[in-house]
Amino acid sequence: MNRLSAERRTAILAALCEGASINATARQTGASKVTILKLLSEVGPVCLDYQRMVMVDLPCRLLQCDEIWGFVQCKQARLEIDERGRGRGDVWVWVAMDAESKLVPCWHIGGRDAGAAYLFMEDLASRLANRVQLTTDGHKAYLGAVEGAFGWNGVDYAMLQKLYGPSFDGENRYSPPQVIGVRADWVMGKPELDHVSTSYVERQNLTMRMNIRRLTRLTNGHSKKLENHGHAIALHYMYYNFCRKHETLTKAKGGVHTTPAMAAGVADHAWRLSEVVALLEAKERG
């Protein structure tokens, strides 16, 4: 059976991690679309399994959570009624981020409902070593999910409510509405108001849209299958957590290449994408 060399695999993953679409990656590397999608389907589960294995007993203190919208095949409004519930339409990525190490300890792909919120919070709570301060946006699904996962008063939790002005119409309809104020609402525990923020995780949303072509707005690079959507997210966070230099962390370390996984004590060096390929090859060898 023909198999791509480690160098070809690394080149393909590098293009995908820097925001290239499947077609653009094919043009850059000379690999076929079928080959690229096959590699993505192979490396995605490896990245997911590795992060699930090592993201335990994390020393995080200040966590922020948010959700980012995307879609598979078509947007929900264009989805036929008999196609709903089949992995098509709107899909949300729930993301948790440590404000200090910038680590993303877990994420969840699903709807924007109470069930998805509970699964996400259960996963997050299971990965932490200490009591944490948690900030989310005002999405009501978090309320029951946080209490169910952490227990009442088991976390210092506040919601950050953003107050928006009127939405734009016409030529400015793609611009976000103006934020005219914010309000921090206590939920449980003793959250410190100075640390009630979702700024870092919201900035992470921009990183995702810039580096995962499937999440870039107003393009045709969206996911056509839910499974591939999940593989792309897993690859992105493997690259973000373990490989990519974080500018703020690197500056704090005097210019030493530092990743979120290093700052959180999960890794002892900045990974190369070739090491991610090595994980896949180790799995193939059994």
Domains in the chain: boundaries: 6-285
Residues 6+ apart with CB under 8 A from 176: none
DSSP state of 78: G
Residues of the chain whose pLDDT is less than 50? none
Structure tokens at 248: 């703020």
The predicted pLDDT at position 217 comes to 82
Long-range contacts for 116-122 (Cβ within 8 Å, ≥24 apart)? 116/92, 116/141, 117/141, 117/142, 117/144, 117/145, 118/144, 118/145, 118/148, 118/149, 120/65, 120/94, 120/96, 120/145, 121/145, 121/146, 121/148, 121/149, 121/150, 122/148, 122/149
Q: Give the pTM.
A: 0.91
40 membership: H or E segment, kind and range: helix 33-54
Tokens matching residue 234:
């897993």
CA distance 236 to 208: 8
Q: What is the CATH number of domain 6-285?
A: 3.30.420.10
d(CA 124, CA 108): 10
Question: Taking a C-beta distance cutoff of 8 angstroms, is the pair 35, 106 a contact?
Answer: no
- Rg of the chain (C-alpha set): 20
Query: What gap in Å lies between CA 216 and CA 236, rounded to an integer?
Result: 14
Structure confidence at residue 82 (pLDDT): 64
Q: In this predicted model, what pLDDT tens digit does every residue of 126-151 receive, in sequence order?
A: 999 999 999 999 999 999 999 999 99
Distance separating alpha carbons of residues 58 and 108, to the nearest angstrom: 18
Give the model's pLDDT for residue 46. Answer: 98
| Residue 233 CB neighbours (<10 A) | 25
Per-residue pLDDT, 171: 61
pLDDT at 73: 79
What integer pLDDT is reported at residue 84 of this predicted model? 66
In this predicted structure, what is the pLDDT of residue 174? 59
Burial class (CB in 10 A: 0-12, 13-18, 19+), 12: buried
